[in-house]
Amino acid sequence: MNQTQQKGHPKGLYLLFVTEMWERFSYYGMRALFMLYMTQALLLNKETASEIYGSYTGLVYLTPLLGGYISDRYWGNRRSIVWGAIVMAIGQLLLFLSACYYTHISVAQPLMMAGLGALILGNGLFKPNISTMVGSLYAEGDNRKDSAFTIFYMGVNVGAMIAPLWCGLVGNTGHPEDFKWGFLSACIGMLIGALVFQLLKNRYIVTPEGAPIGMPPVPQAATVPEAEKPVAKENKVSYRRIIVAGLGTLVLLLLFSINWGSFSNPAISIFEGTDWIGSMIYACVIVMPLFIITDPSLTRLEQQRIGVIYIIAFFVIFFWAAYEQAGASLTFFADEQTDRMIGGWEMPAAYFQSFPALFVILLAPVFASLWSFLGRKGIEPASPVKQSIGLLLLSLGYLFIAFGVHGLEPGVKVSMMWLTGLYFIHTMGELSLAPIGLSMVYKLSPVRFSSLLMGVWYLSTSAANKLAGLLSSYYPEEGVEKSFLGYQVENLFDFFMVFVFMSGAAAVILFLLSSKLKKMMAGAE
């Protein structure tokens, strides 16, 4: 049977599903407790805690670039995944130890920082590599990839849904000494994932012929006789490129970090209020993709396809920046302006954060079979079209809630239906965009760059997490005047309309570009 017509999926997909499920359990379980731990156990103020939180969620999606590079160049996917998992388990263990000594801040805080560092590095090794591996289970041209990534994405969300419930139950009890149990659960979850992967990878992560997938790369030059290798010249070019990229990053870092107000006001120092990590992220977002696409080993066609990844990744920044309001402004909204009474029980505001994950789990099978079905009929929309549909649905979700709050007096609460509806619409958008994006990156990347480009894809999440924090700060507060690019944000309606316009405009522009992008993909779908 021709592979493109096959039904069902290789068993390896389910192994990756389970591994990623445990890893995301660990990630989201820790994330659910992290803010509370900092403010309730370590007694950090909200501002410091938010800063640490924002930097952590930004950096965790910056390091996949590094992990992608190491894997494509030296380790291959398998080894990177295993080491990433081990380093993350160590990170969670350090958080557990930090929480054991939470009353001794001078011990607890350095342990926490070391733990965060390990999580950031470990995620960098793990996340791009497990994503690439999903694609590598299928032959080129196999049209089951979009549906495979959608199933994989369900694994992400099974972990994301259970984690806050379990880690919240054992860790967030109102007694600060219990946080450690949440972190320990996250550590154990990660170890289970690592163990399952380690034990079963040789059996299941294989080609249909049984050859292992995800081994270290075979250097291409190995086939060329030693004397013919232009080593010296190549080394010179790559050193020069690295120096230029390094200097470029440094210059942008400084440009983003300077407090421009200090030139007109001597009372302000030049780096006052600088968010160094944010500046670093923005500098990398600009320099790294340029560095990769100008690699001398790439052909024009490869560059063109990588260009498509970049253009779409740019639009995706606006998707996640609006979507990630879930953990920020939408949680304030759930807390302050949503009637959460069910019978005689008031649902905690934080529970709303499990809704998107639950909806992904419910809707993913529907979407996976929809893509397969349309694929078999030959009428499946191209990736850029699916992604613009995703952005449009995001915009519609905000439009829906904007209606719900139109003309609402401050302090009045609206029905839960509005927020639930928003999350439902957003999830449909997420399923049209996120797994499809992973699949697209895989299909458009030259094999020797596939994990690195997956890292670039996650770079847009890194930038988006930073942008989300900024956008969330426009959440209306009584007595505080806020305006966004000259647009007055006086009430909730105005606030939600910012997202309607932002994602709506991105959807329309991407849609208009889609036929051009499809041509640039040159049959790589």
Contact residues toward ligand GLN (CB under 6 A) are 24, 156, 320, 458, 461
> What is the closest distance, in whole angstroms, from the C-beta atom of residue 327 to ligand GLN in the complex?
11
- 312: Cα within 13 Å, side-chain hemisphere: 36
Nearer to ligand GLN, 461 or 472 (CB): 461
Nearer to ligand GLN, 302 or 430 (CB): 430
Nearer to ligand GLN, 319 or 475 (CB): 319
> What is the closest distance, in whole angstroms, from the C-beta atom of residue 154 to ligand GLN in the complex?
11
Q: Could you give phi then psi for residue 406, rounded to 5 degrees?
A: -65, 125
Beta bridge partners of 153: none
Nearer to ligand GLN, 64 or 404 (CB): 64
* Helical axes 355-377 vs 145-171, angle rounded to 10°: 170
Q: Output DSSP code: residue 438.
A: H
Nearer to ligand GLN, 214 or 437 (CB): 437
Q: Which residue of the chain is nearest ligand GLN when measured via CB? A: 461
Residue-by-residue DSSP string for 306-321: HHHHHHHHHHHHHHHH
> What is the closest distance, in whole angstroms, from the C-beta atom of residue 407 to ligand GLN in the complex?
34
Nearer to ligand GLN, 418 or 458 (CB): 458
> What is the closest distance, in whole angstroms, from the C-beta atom of residue 457 to ligand GLN in the complex?
7
Nearer to ligand GLN, 75 or 320 (CB): 320
> What is the closest distance, in whole angstroms, from the C-beta atom of residue 120 to ligand GLN in the complex?
15
> What is the closest distance, in whole angstroms, from the C-beta atom of residue 353 to ligand GLN in the complex?
12
> What is the closest distance, in whole angstroms, from the C-beta atom of residue 20 to ligand GLN in the complex?
8
Q: Could you give phi then psi for residue 338, rounded to 5 degrees?
A: -120, 130
Nearer to ligand GLN, 155 or 384 (CB): 155
> What is the closest distance, in whole angstroms, from the C-beta atom of residue 37 to ligand GLN in the complex?
20
Nearer to ligand GLN, 69 or 458 (CB): 458
- Distance in angstroms (rounded) separating the CA atoms of residues 348 and 335: 8
> What is the closest distance, in whole angstroms, from the C-beta atom of residue 461 to ligand GLN in the complex?
4
Tokens of 284: 């990398």
Nearer to ligand GLN, 149 or 458 (CB): 458
Nearer to ligand GLN, 164 or 176 (CB): 164
> What is the closest distance, in whole angstroms, from the C-beta atom of residue 245 to ligand GLN in the complex?
24
- Distance in angstroms (rounded) separating the CA atoms of residues 7 and 352: 36
What are the b/e assignments for 262-301, b being 16+ CB within 10 Å? eeeeeeeeeeeebbebbbbbbbbbebbbebbbebeebeee
CB 476 within 8 A of CB 494: yes
Strand, helix or coil for residue 434 = helix
Nearer to ligand GLN, 126 or 496 (CB): 126
Strand, helix or coil for residue 441 = helix
Q: What is the bridge-based pairing of β-strands 483-484 and 345-346?
A: unpaired
> What is the closest distance, in whole angstroms, from the C-beta atom of residue 437 to ligand GLN in the complex?
8
> What is the closest distance, in whole angstroms, from the C-beta atom of residue 156 to ligand GLN in the complex?
4
Kindly list the distances between the CA atom of residue 407 and the CA atoms of 35, 491, 492, in Å, as whole numbers in the listed order.
Answer: 33, 9, 9
Tokens of 330: 């939408």
Q: Could you give phi then psi for residue 271, rounded to 5 degrees?
A: -110, 25
Q: What percentage of the chain's residues is helix, strand, coil (to nearest 5)?
A: 75, 0, 20
- Distance in angstroms (rounded) separating the CA atoms of residues 115 and 97: 9
Strand, helix or coil for residue 206 = strand
**Residue ranges of E strands in 237-361:** 341-342, 345-346
Helix H or strand E segment including 488: strand 487-488
Nearer to ligand GLN, 449 or 458 (CB): 458
> What is the closest distance, in whole angstroms, from the C-beta atom of residue 198 to ligand GLN in the complex?
21
Closest CA to 319 of 429, 418, 420, 428: 429
List the alpha helices (DSSP H) in 378-484: 383-405, 416-444, 450-472
What are the b/e assignments for 78-89, b being 16+ CB within 10 Å? bbbbbbbbbbbb
